[in-house]
Amino acid sequence: MRIIKLNIISLLFFSCSIVPPELEWEDVQSDHESVLNILGILSTDSLVSSFVKVHRSLNVQDNIDSLVLDTTDGIDFYRISIFVVADDEVIVRQGSSEYHFEYSEIEMDTKDTVGLGAYFYNGDDLNPSPGEIYTLSVTTPSGMSATGEVIIPPMPRLHKEELPDTFRVNEIMNIKWDVLDLHNQLLNIDNFLNIFWFLYNDYGFYYSYEYKPGPCGIQQQEFIYPGDTTWTFIKEWCGDSEFNQDSWDEDFLLINLMSMDQNYYDFFIKYSQEGSEFSNLYIGPGGTGRNFGIDGGIGVFGSVGVDRHFIPLVP
């Protein structure tokens, strides 16, 4: 056997003397066919709006945004994401009833990039009830289309009569609810003034009206499997020996219980826990497409129900 020994110092010196070739850029093309990327959630809760968000997948050669001229208040320019589809026909149906959703931008502090909008129903007669089957139809002016179907989950119900009238931060509290044998639920707890109002639980787009953080460790979340009926809440230890009473005086403990259908659970919980790269909310470019309740596209058409209770916090 012949043994070859390399002098590391000589090798490094030699490699440093090599002149690299001049780099040249090469355009990358793809023959990907654009598909609709849909996020639709029907809510049985009056405080959480039902909505449908529609994007389309892009080719690698597509620009991610374009410059738009706005003459509403003088002359202004801003960027709009071209994966957003804002001129669709979006219809939700239940039986013989049709609900036409219209596109609306979600107001943000900046207009630099527009594209956080979604389709909402402007009427007051869309009231999904447990067990009802709703279908979704999305059609673009260019001829792209997708459909969806969801079964509305049962309403969650907290046993509010067993909860205390007031709550001290360091106390222990048992929280109970009606059992759901076939559906998962999610329990969120926080102080009211620290809540960012959402379109669909804490996976969604948030509306912030006031920020006032409560005591360290009061914010908690618990996933509830079918058949579970109780959970014990206790403030988590965060390493602080004391907390500022002003941060929770005249505040409320908000208990938020959410039920979900199978499509919602599969998309946001099951495959998120399994490390799916396509489990975030901000749908758009990137990720491997999955579809739950969607046919002819990727994404999810799901439904949630919410029950909540407020308990005054006391020193």
Residues 50-67 pLDDT 10s? 999 998 876 554 555 555
- Mean pLDDT (whole number) for 127-137: 97
- Which H or E run includes 286? none
Q: What is the pLDDT of residues 20-33, one digit of tens each?
A: 566 666 665 555 57
Higher pLDDT, 133 or 272: 133
Instruction: Specify whether 51 is located in the same domain as 106.
Output: yes
164-174 tens-digit pLDDT: 999 988 889 99
> pTM to 2 decimals?
0.74
- Do residue 118 and residue 133 come from a single domain? yes
State residue 300's pLDDT score. Answer: 94
My answer on whether 256 and 175 are in the same domain is: yes
- Residue 17 in domain: no
Residues 6+ away with beta carbon under 8 Å from 190: 214, 218, 219, 220, 253, 254, 256
Residues 233 and 165 in one domain: yes
- Whether the CB-CB separation of 204 and 282 falls below 8 Å is answered with no
220 lies in the same domain as 170: yes
Q: What is the CATH number of the domain that holds 201?
A: 2.60.40
Q: Is residue 272 part of a domain?
A: no
Mean of pLDDT values over 293-298: 94
Please state, in angstroms and rounded to a whole number, the distance separating the CA atoms of residues 257 and 306: 6
**Together in a domain, 49 and 134:** yes
**3-class state of residue 40 by DSSP:** strand
Domain count, the chain: 2
Q: For residues 216 and 275, what is the distance between their CA atoms, to the nearest angstrom?
A: 28
Which domain does 48 fall in, by range?
36-154+287-303
Higher pLDDT, 15 or 246: 246
Looking at residue 69, its pLDDT comes to 52
Residues 58 and 201 in one domain: no
Whether 42 has a pLDDT exceeding 80, the answer reads yes
Helices within 155-273 (DSSP H only)? 262-264, 271-273
Domain shared by 149 and 167, yes or no: no
Judged against a pLDDT cut of 50, whether residue 286 lies above it is answered with no
Domain contains 218: yes
Q: Is the pLDDT of residue 149 over 70?
A: yes
Q: Tell me the pLDDT band of 8, cut-offs 50, 70 and 90.
A: very low
CB count in 10 Å sphere of residue 276: 15
Based on the fold, state whether residues 66 and 107 are members of the same structural domain.
yes
Confidence band for 142, pLDDT divided at 50, 70 and 90: confident
Mean pLDDT (the chain) is 76
Model confidence at 115: pLDDT above 90: no
Residues 202 and 141 both lie in one domain: no
pLDDT at 211 over 80: no
What is the pLDDT, as a whole number, of residue 206? 35
Pair (122, 231) in one structural domain: no
Distances (CA, A) of 16 to 6, 21, 190: 16, 13, 59
Domain match, 164 and 234 both: yes
Give the model's pLDDT for residue 21. 61
